[in-house]
Amino acid sequence: MMIIYIVYDMYTPTVSFAINEVPQVCAFENCPTSFRFCVTRYYGRSSVEIIALAKSDAGTIAALPERETLKW
């Protein structure tokens, strides 16, 4: 099973991603303060389950040196 983490940091404001706890090189910066997310399936007969929503003051996913940020 693949677990995808999506972390919205309202202090920076960025959205970062990790797959099975491995930080990814793509992120979004300058995100709006009001934020909604959705999940879509790419392949038929695939499924998505949101297993947790949490608010944390512990920081974000580690920023990789080669991380590419996309302007919101």
16-66 tens-digit pLDDT: 888 888 888 878 888 887 777 778 878 888 888 888 777 666 656 666 677
| pTM, 2 dp | 0.63
The residues near 16 (Cβ < 8 Å, ≥ 6 apart) are 6, 7, 9, 23, 24, 27, 60, 61, 63
